[in-house]
Structure 1
C-alpha cells in the first residue's frame, strides 16, 4: 500500500501508481517502503532550500550549508537526524548494486566548492572551474559557434543529490533506472570538471539522444581536445549522453 501511495504522490495519479508497481520479473532495486516517507520529506526540504538560495547559488552549495540554511530560515523546516542519516546513506552506499559502475569523484558528503575556484558563466546561472574546464568551454564555443551554450556546469553534492532524488521520484522509486540516467551524488564528474552543452532553443531535447543529430554535436565530435564521457554501451552503466563533455 505504501508503494502505491509513493507512486501516487510522485506521478500524480492512481493509474500511474498501478502501472509502475514492481512486477515479479523486475530485477531493479526499488526504494525500500520504510524509506519512502523520509525520502519524500528530504526531497521537499532540498527543493525549499533551492528556492531560498536561488538557482545559481544552489549549484555550488555544500551539504553542511544546506543543513544550516534549512535551520536558519523560519519559513523552512530543519532536516531531522533521520533525514540526515538517510542522505548520508544514499551518498556513501555502493551504487554497483544498481548497475552503476562509475568512478567515485567525491569522498566526503561535506565536500566544499570554493567560490574562488569557479567562474559563473554569464546568462546561465551555471559555474565552471577555473583552468582547464573554463578554457575548454570557451574554446568549444569559439570552434562550434554561439548556437551552443552551457546547460550544466559545476554541481555540488547537494545539487547532484537533488537531481538524482528527483529522477528516483520520476521513476516511481526505481533506483536502478534512476542510476542509469543520473550519477549518484558521490559519482558525478560535474563535481570535478565535466560540463553539459546544448543547442540554443532546443530546451529539454538537449538532454535526449536527439542532440546527437544536431550540427553542434557533430562539430563537437571533430574537436580533438574534448571527448564524450558517456558513450553508447559505456562501462559505467550510464545511458548515452551526447551532451556531456569529458574534461577530466
Structure 2
C-alpha cells in the first residue's frame, strides 16, 4: 500500500466514521470501550500516533474495567504456564496445549470461561480496529508449530524455522560471529499472546497502544518465518531505533540482508523495527 492510497482510505474511512470502529468491530462495541474524541484529520492523527507510539490517543480502544481485570488474570495464568513448561518451550506452545496444562497443573489453574472468551475475542477481532493494518499469517487460534519444522539455536534460547529462516540466520552469523545475537525467533500464538497482553496490562487495557508496539496474536510473522537480531552487549537498546547506530545493522543493510517488516514511516500502524528481519513476503 503506498502512502497516497493509504491517506485516501484513511480520509474516506474517517468521514464514514469507520476508521477505528468499523464493521470489523461488529458485535464487540459492548466489549471494547473507545475513549471519547473525534479525529478531525486522519492523516494528522495517524502521524501523531506513530510519532508517540507509546502514548495513549483519544481514539484508542480500551477494555472496560471488568474486562481489564479478566485480561490481567489470563496474563498471569500464561506467565505461570511459562514457568511450568520453561521459557524455550513456551515459544512453540500451542493454545490447546496451554489449556490442557492449565487444567492439569494446580500451580497454573484452569482458564475461566471469561478468560477463554476474551482471548478468543482478541484473536479473532480484526486488528484494524486497534489501528494495526498488517496482514494476518495465522488465522487459527489453535494453530500448532510442529517441532520437526523448527530448530533450537544453540546458546540463544530461541527457535528458528528450518529452511530459509535458518539459512538466513546462519549467513548472518558467519559474517559477525559472536557479535550478533538472535534476540527472538519463532513465536507461536501463545507466546505472542503473552507479549501483547503484557503490553496491554502495562497500558491499562489499551489494546490500540499495545498494537503499536507488538503485533496482536495471529498477526506476527514470527509465527511463520521472521526473527529479530541484535548486537551483543547492546542490551535493551537492541529494541529501539538506536539499533540503527550499531555496526551489525549498518553492515547487514549494506550487504542486503536487511529487509524490514516494519520500516521507518510504515503505514501498518506499527513502530519502526530495524531489528526485525523479514524472511518471507
- The bucket for the TM-score relative to the shorter chain is 0.7 to 0.9
Instruction: Tell me the secondary structure at the aligned position of residue 128 of structure 1.
Output: strand
User: Contact 2:80–2:107 at 8 Å: present in 1 too?
Assistant: no
Which SS does the other structure have where 1:60 is aligned?
A: coil
Deviation digits for residues 145-189 of structure 1, max 9, x if unmatched?
420110000000000000000011122222111101000001000
Q: Give me the TM-score of the superposition, normalised by structure 2.
A: 0.78
2:71–2:201 contact (8 Å) kept in structure 1: no
What TM-score does the superposition give when structure 1 sets the normalisation length?
0.88
Q: Distance in 2 between matches of 1:200 and 1:50?
A: 25
Give structure 1 regions of 4+ aligned residues with deviation exceeding 6 angstroms: none
Verify: 1:220 aligned to 2:252, yes or no. Answer: yes
| Number of the residue aligned with 1:42 | 74
Gaps of 5+ in 1: 1-21
Q: Mean alpha-carbon deviation: is it higher for 77-86 or for 188-197?
A: 77-86
In angstroms, what is the RMSD of aligned CA positions? 1.5
The equivalent residue for 1:189 is 221
Q: What is the SS of the residue equivalent to 1:230?
A: coil
Question: 1:144 touches 1:219 (CA, 8 Å); kept in 2?
Answer: no
Number of corresponding residues: 226
Aligned to 1:81: 113
**C-alpha displacement of 1:195:** 0.1
Work out which of the residue numbers 94, 97, 102 in structure 1 matches 2:134: 102
Task: State which of 222, 236, 242 in structure 1 corresponds to 2:268.
Answer: 236
Instruction: Answer yes or no: is 1:54 the counterpart of 2:58.
Output: no
Gaps of 5+ in 2: 1-54
Find the aligned partners of 1:74 and 1:144 in 2 and give their Cα distance: 45
| Aligned counterparts of 1:225 and 1:203: Cα–Cα separation in 2 | 22
